[in-house]
Amino acid sequence: MDSTVTVSELQANTPRIIRETERRGMTAVTRHGRIAAFLVSKERIEAMIETMEILSDRQAMKAIRDYESGKMALKPVECLDED
């Protein structure tokens, strides 16, 4: 966990905690010693959505598995300019 605050701390220091969450990525909010909620930065959510989109794309996942197993090699981006 990146950071943890209580509900009372969140109520008293919302702007500061939001700034810290933007920097850290995520903050857990506890109530009575148990995690009750999470604050997640926009950047972290966008990364999670992008990961889910890749994981749900069969062609992308096949390409990743092929690369990891050595069946496919990466080429430099410059090769895209070749005719």
* Residue 12: pLDDT over 90: yes
Q: Name 27's bridge partners.
A: 39
For residue 70, what pLDDT is reported? 87
Answer yes or no: is 81 within a domain: no
Structural domain total, the chain? 2
For residue 77, what pLDDT is reported? 77
Distance CA 42, CA 48 (A): 10
Q: Looking at the structure, tell me whether residues 29 and 49 fall in a common domain.
A: no
What is the DSSP code string of 54-78? Answer: HHT-HHHHHHHHHHHTTS-----GG
Answer yes or no: is 67 within a domain: yes
For residue 83, what pLDDT is reported? 60
* Residue 81: pLDDT over 80: no
Q: Name 2's bridge partners.
A: none
Whether this prediction's pTM lies above 0.75 is answered by no
Q: At 68, is the secondary structure helix, strand, or coil?
A: helix
Distance CA 78, CA 82 (A): 7
19-68 per-position pLDDT tens digit: 999 999 999 999 999 999 999 999 999 999 999 999 999 999 998 999 89
Q: Looking at the structure, tell me whether residues 50 and 26 fall in a common domain.
A: no
Q: Looking at the structure, tell me whether residues 47 and 19 fall in a common domain.
A: no
Domain around 27: 4-40
Answer yes or no: is 60 within a domain: yes
